[in-house]
Chains A and B, each alone.
Chain A
Amino acid sequence: MYAIGKREFFSLAKGSKSLMTISILFLISYFTVKPSGVFVSELTVEEAEMIHNAGLLIFILLFGQLIVAGLSHDSLNREMHERTIRFLVTRTSRAGILFGKFFGVWVFWFMCLAGAFLLTGIVVRKLDLFLFSQTMSLVTFQITVTLLFSVLITKPGYTMFLGIVTGLAFPVCGLFVTYTSNVWVNWLKFVSPYYYLERNDAAFLIIILLAGIMLSLANLIFKRREC
Chain B
Amino acid sequence: MRAIETKQLKKMYGSVPVVNGLDLVVEKGEIFGLLGRDGAGKSTFINMLTGIVQQSSGTYSLLGVACPNAQVKKRIGVMPEYSALYSSMTAVEHLQYLSSLSGKPAGKQRCIDVLHSVALAAHAHKKSREFSFGMIKKLGIAQAIIHDPELIFLDEPTSGLDAESVLVIHQLIIEMQKRGKTIIMTSHNLDEVERLCTRIAIMKAGQIVRMGTMDELRAFYRQTVKVRIKHAPVPAAQREILYRWLKTAGTKLEIAECYTTIHLEEEKKIADILRAFHHCKTDVYRAEVAGPTLEEIFLDESE
Q: Chain A: residues with CB nearer than 8 A to chain B?
A: 3-4, 7, 82-84, 86-93, 96, 224, 226-227
- Most B C-beta atoms less than 10 A away, residue of A87, A92, A96: A87
Q: List 29 A-B contacts (CB under 8 A).
A: A3-B97, A3-B100, A82-B84, A83-B80, A83-B83, A83-B84, A84-B85, A84-B86, A86-B52, A86-B78, A86-B82, A86-B84, A87-B80, A87-B101, A88-B101, A89-B50, A89-B51, A90-B51, A90-B52, A90-B76, A91-B98, A92-B70, A92-B73, A92-B102, A96-B70, A226-B53, A226-B54, A227-B52, A227-B53
B57 → chain A closest CB, angstroms? 15
- Which 9 A-B pairs give the minimum distances between C-beta atoms? A90-B78, A93-B70, A83-B84, A3-B100, A86-B80, A91-B101, A82-B84, A90-B50, A3-B101
Q: A92-B73, A227-B52 are in contact. Are A84 and B84 (CB under 8 A)?
A: yes
Closest residue to B93 on the A side, CB-wise? Answer: A7
Complex: how many Å from CA A88 to CA B52? 9
Q: Which residues of B contact A92 (CB under 8 A)?
A: 70, 73, 101-102
Q: Which residues of A contact B83 (CB under 8 A)?
A: 83
Q: Is B186 an interface residue (CB 8 A)?
A: no
Mask of B38-51 contacts with A, CB within 8 angstroms, 1/0: 00000000000011
Closest residue to B97 on the A side, CB-wise? Answer: A7
Q: Chain B: residues with CB nearer than 8 A to chain A?
A: 50-54, 70, 73-74, 76, 78, 80, 82-86, 97-98, 100-102, 143
Complex: how many Å from CA A215 to CA B259? 73
User: What 13 new A-B contacts, CB under 8 Å, besides A83-B80, A86-B84, A89-B51?
Assistant: A4-B101, A7-B97, A83-B84, A84-B84, A84-B85, A86-B52, A86-B80, A86-B82, A88-B101, A91-B98, A92-B73, A92-B102, A224-B54
In the complex, the number of residue pairs spanning A and B with C-beta atoms less than 8 Å apart equals: 51
B264 → chain A closest CB, angstroms? 44
Q: Which residues of A contact B143 (CB under 8 A)?
A: 87
A96 → chain B closest CB, angstroms? 7
Q: Which residues of B contact A82 (CB under 8 A)?
A: 84
Closest residue to A6 on the B side, CB-wise? Answer: B100
Complex: how many Å from CA A146 to CA B101? 24
Complex: how many Å from CA A82 to CA B53? 16
Q: Which residues of A contact B76 (CB under 8 A)?
A: 90
Complex: how many Å from CA A84 to CA B89? 12
Complex: how many Å from CA A82 to CA B78? 17
Closest residue to A1 on the B side, CB-wise? Answer: B101
Q: Are A90 and B70 in contact (CB under 8 A)?
A: no
Complex: how many Å from CA A4 to CA B97? 8
B144 → chain A closest CB, angstroms? 9
B85 → chain A closest CB, angstroms? 7
Complex: how many Å from CA A4 to CA B101? 7
Complex: how many Å from CA A224 to CA B70? 16
Closest residue to B54 on the A side, CB-wise? Answer: A224
Complex: how many Å from CA A226 to CA B55? 11
Q: Which residues of B contact A226 (CB under 8 A)?
A: 52-54
Closest residue to A87 on the B side, CB-wise? Answer: B98
Q: Which residues of A contact B97 (CB under 8 A)?
A: 3, 7
Q: Which residues of B contact A86 (CB under 8 A)?
A: 52, 78, 80, 82, 84
- Most A C-beta atoms less than 10 A away, residue of B78, B83, B101: B101
Q: Which residues of A contact B78 (CB under 8 A)?
A: 86, 90
Q: Which residues of B contact A93 (CB under 8 A)?
A: 70, 73
Q: Which residues of B contact A88 (CB under 8 A)?
A: 101
Q: Are B73 and A90 in contact (CB under 8 A)?
A: yes
Closest residue to A96 on the B side, CB-wise? Answer: B70
A225 → chain B closest CB, angstroms? 9
- Most A C-beta atoms less than 10 A away, residue of B80, B102, B143: B80
Q: Which residues of A contact B84 (CB under 8 A)?
A: 82-84, 86
Closest residue to A11 on the B side, CB-wise? Answer: B88
Closest residue to B77 on the A side, CB-wise? Answer: A90
